[in-house]
Each structure stands twice: as structure tokens, then as C-alpha cells.
A and B are shown apart, each in its own frame.
Chain A
Amino acid sequence: MEERQPETPFGDLDAFHGAFAELYPRLVSYARRYGATFAEDIAQEAFVILMQREERVEHPTAFLYGTVRTLSLTERRPMKNQNLSLEAVTEPGLAGGADDQVLNQEVRERMRMLSPTFREALWLFVVEGLSIREIADILGIPEATVKTRIHRAKAQLKDQLNPSGGVHVLV
């Protein structure tokens, strides 16, 4: 039996619809966290750019996140702060992702205490559930750097939990 050629980066049409239904709200939420005004347009444009490519994309999810990040930062270019913002999480109704409802005030405060560089990698790894390789693709940095940032974020979180510098209880 001849194998059917995938029509999209995610496989056949049904697989694409399933991936779109799952990723689109997350990408919209991700764009909003960067302060994008037209988050839906950015997420849709990311899908179009992905589907438009004739070359095979190895990590479509990472490509979508990276494109959304780039487009959001481009939209925000006049603004000075281009780091991942958590303002959208604190504003009700602005970030519609399911994970935002999971994040309570304490978690948001802990993440806010992190440096923006570590926060971005930590967010993608923990909340978005992306792999180290995908985060490296999104941020355009080596995987080792991603791991370093995540481990440093972990160390900072431990310091937050134990500010006196004693032995960490959560190891």
C-alpha cells in the first residue's frame, strides 16, 4: 500500500487541523505575553509562513513559536523592553490560555523575580512544555545555552525559596 504524502508540516489535513486547534490558542496567548496588540493576526501569520515554506521544517511547533516571537517583537519594536512580559498573565481576560488560569499569584511572583532571559527559557520549558531543542530553535541559541539558562533559573528559584543561603529543601 502506497504511503500518502503529508500535505502539511504536521502530516495530513486532519493532523494539521488537530495541531492548529491545539497550538493556535497557545500561540495567541504567547504573542500577547510579548505585548502584541494583534496577537491573533500574528499567530495566523505564523501558520501561513510555516505552510508557505517549501523546505521541510524539522520542528514545526518550534518554528511557529519562533515566528510568533519574532513577529511580536517586531510589532513592539518601538518599545524598549523586548523581554517576555508576564503582564498579560496578571490581567484577567487578556491571556486566554488554560495555563494562565493554573498560574496563581505566587507562581507569577516567583517567575517575575527571575531575570528576563532565564524567565523566557523557563516559561517555554515548563509552562509551554517545549523541549530543549525546540526552545533553542525558537530563541536561536545553542541547546547548551538553553539548558544553562534553565538550570540558572532553577537555582534562582531555589534561592527565592531559601533566601538565607542555607541548604535547599527542594532538591
Chain B
Amino acid sequence: MSWSDPARRFEPAEDVQLRAELRELLGLQPAPQRAAVPVTEELASLAEDLRKEALRRRRTERRRPSWGLIAAAALPLLAALAGLGTWGVQQKQRADGLAAHAQRQEAELSRIAAANAAELARERKAKEEAQQQLQLVAQALPKKSLPYLVIPVNKPLRLQGEDYQRVKEKPGQ
């Protein structure tokens, strides 16, 4: 248990006991304390070569796209979508404004039309009242004379032999 793995330092006592029992069953000697293996020049060189090879592979290996990279790649799309959404919202607001303006204009026109209709009705009523008054006045006035020429005379013309006044001479006279 002298290996440099920290996780191996804490082994339950029951496992140690089980290992000892199994060694006994197999006829093995009790586990000797492992002496530290001397690090020879050759082993140290090999370990160093392997470590450098691992570092070289770590630097040169083709990395899988991380979430950050995927997010960065998706950023233009997200920006375009956000821009499109903003533009859409703006267009909707603009359309809503235009619709409200048109509605206000329509209401104003309706109000003006109603006012005009009321004014017209009032004028008609006034006209009718004026005509009625005119008729009343006309009825109160004396009746109109006959529609032919009346020459008022102080005394009736009495021609001899004729009881009328010739107003038109016969042709050739």
C-alpha cells in the first residue's frame, strides 16, 4: 500500500482482513510491506518521455466543440433572431399606432358627420318653421286678386248701348 495513490490509503479493515484470509487460503505468505522501488535513470527517463508525449497529445489533439464554442457559433443566429424579433415588435407597435390613429380619425369623422347631420336637421326644422310662419302670414293677408288686369275706376264706365268697355279694337279700325 505504498503506492502514491491517495485514494488507496484508506481501505476498510474488513477488506484487509478478507485479503489476509484469501492469502492464507491460497497458501501465500502474509503480504509483505512493499519496499519503495528505486527510481532508476532509465525509468525516470521513460516516465519523462511519456509525460511529454501526453502533454504533446493534449496540445495537438482535436478538441471536441465545447458548449462555449457552440454558444459562440450560435451567437450570430441568436443575434439575427433577436434583431428579427425586435424588428417584428417594432412593426407591430407601428401597426398598432396606425390602427389607433385611423380609429381616432374615423371617430372624428363620425363626430363631424353627426354634427353636420344635426345642423342640417336644425336648419330644415328652422326652414319648415319659417315656411309655416310664412303660410300663416300669407293666410292672414288678403286674398290675391284675380289674375287679370283690373283697371280701377272711380265710376263704372257705361257706354251707351253697351255694358262693357272695349279694350281691344277690332283690326282695321
Contact A150/B18 with A15-B4, A21-B43, A104-B27 known, Cβ cut-off 8 Å = yes
Question: Closest approach, in angstroms, between the C-beta of B5 and any C-beta of chain A?
Answer: 5
A21 near B54: Cβ-Cβ < 8 Å: no
Interface size class of A (residues with CB under 8 A): 35 or more
A107 near B27: Cβ-Cβ < 8 Å: yes
- A23 interface residue per 8 A CB criterion: yes
- A133 interface residue per 8 A CB criterion: yes
B7 near A133: Cβ-Cβ < 8 Å: yes
Closest Cβ neighbor of B45 among chain A residues: A17
Q: Among the interface residues A21, A58, A61, which one has the most CB atoms of the partner chain B within 10 A?
A: A21
Chain A residues 13-58 with CB under 8 Å of chain B are: 13, 15-25, 44, 47-52, 54, 58
Q: Once A and B bind, how many residue pairs between them come within 8 Å at the CB atom?
A: 120
B5 near A52: Cβ-Cβ < 8 Å: no
* A15 vs B37: C-alpha distance when bound (angstroms): 12
A157 near B22: Cβ-Cβ < 8 Å: yes
* Residues of chain B within 8 A of A131, CB atoms compared: 7-8, 11, 15
Closest Cβ neighbor of B24 among chain A residues: A170
A122 near B53: Cβ-Cβ < 8 Å: no
- A106 interface residue per 8 A CB criterion: yes
- 7 A-B residue contacts at CB 8 Å? A15-B4, A21-B40, A47-B50, A50-B54, A125-B19, A129-B1, A129-B19
